[in-house]
């Protein structure tokens, strides 16, 4: 499994036979500039954690290129299905097998609404089991005790955690989240994009190292193999 960081909370997952795109926010991301283009992005599936603009902005344009299946909560799935896109609705605690692997939609503590004011359902994260690996994509969330449920059923190879603070967990809570989910390998995301969520990279890595965890902060366009 190859995971490429496309800025903010956008991830491209290249599996053995399928490509997944998580929370596409590229054209509106001031950090991306001209380094990443949505042209040529042709995922088989798009997974959406919640409805905020900085997670769904480029869904429709990218969907025109490959006709992917959108996987998200019921409200988000129906929102895009009503626009003529293919969608598979889920809700918290639900598991579903797809051609690429298994997805579980799990709890996140945040808000969720579209830019036009449409209700976006309750936010969530994903447990993804594919290619013999298990990863947790937390989405935008506060630290929550529900995270402790994850290692009761899953042994994670990677936890993708927001670390930018203000709108989500910050560094200290993300370290606790890594402990809660019992994962030593963490990919940080949702940081630096805007002034509200700028972080000290050195401080962040040191905090995780002190806790016996490895924090990866890839540059935009850089990849991590799980």
Residues 126-140 pLDDT 10s: 999 999 999 999 999
What was the pLDDT predicted at 34? 77
Residues forming beta bridges with residue 159, ordered by sequence position:
136, 186
Residue 144 is classified by DSSP as: -
Lowest mean per-residue pLDDT among 32-41, 112-121, 129-138: 32-41
**Tokens describing residue 203:** 């401080």
- Closest by CA to 156, choosing from 172, 177, 140, is 177
pTM comes to 0.97
| pLDDT tens digits along 56-76 | 999 999 999 999 999 999 999
Instruction: Report the pLDDT averaged over residues 100-105.
Output: 98
The class that CATH gives domain 2-217 is: alpha beta
| pLDDT tens digits along 158-217 | 999 999 999 999 999 999 999 999 999 999 999 999 999 999 999 999 999 999 999 999
Q: Nearest 10 degrees: CA dihedral of 123, 63, 25, 22?
A: 50
Residue 142 or 30, more confident: 142
Average pLDDT, rounded, for the chain:
97
| In contact, 197 and 165? CB cutoff 8 Å | yes
The answer, yes or no, to whether residue 35 has pLDDT greater than 90, is: no
**Tokens describing residue 216:** 């990866």
| In contact, 73 and 105? CB cutoff 8 Å | yes
Residue ranges of the domains in the chain? 2-217
| In contact, 123 and 113? CB cutoff 8 Å | no
What was the pLDDT predicted at 201? 97
Residues 122 and 94: their CA atoms lie apart, in Å, by 14
The answer, yes or no, to whether residue 22 has pLDDT greater than 90, is: yes
């Amino acid at each position: 499994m190859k995971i490429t960081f496309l800025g903010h909370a956008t991830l491209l997952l290249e599996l053995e036979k399928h490509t997944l795109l998580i929370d596409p926010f590229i054209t509106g991301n001031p950090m991306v500039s001209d380094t990443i283009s949505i042209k040529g992005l042709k995922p088989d599936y798009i997974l959406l954690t919640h409805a905020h603009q900085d997670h769904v902005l480029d869904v429709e344009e990218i969907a025109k290129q490959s006709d992917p299946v959108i996987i998200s909560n019921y409200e988000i799935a129906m929102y895009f299905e009503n626009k003529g896109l293919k969608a598979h609705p889920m809700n918290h605690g639900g598991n579903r097998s797809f051609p690429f692997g298994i997805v579980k939609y799990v709890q996140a503590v945040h808000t969720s609404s579209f830019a036009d004011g449409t209700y976006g359902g309750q936010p969530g994260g994903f447990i993804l089991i594919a290619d013999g690996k298990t990863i947790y994509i937390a989405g935008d969330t506060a630290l929550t005790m529900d995270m402790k449920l994850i290692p009761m059923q899953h042994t994670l190879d990677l936890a993708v955690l927001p670390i930018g603070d203000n709108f989500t967990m910050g560094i200290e809570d993300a370290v606790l989240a890594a402990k809660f989910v019992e994962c030593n390998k963490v990919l940080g995301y949702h940081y630096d994009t805007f002034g509200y969520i700028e972080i000290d990279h050195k401080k962040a890595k040191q905090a995780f190292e002190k806790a016996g965890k490895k924090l990866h902060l890839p540059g935009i366009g850089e990849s991590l193999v799980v």
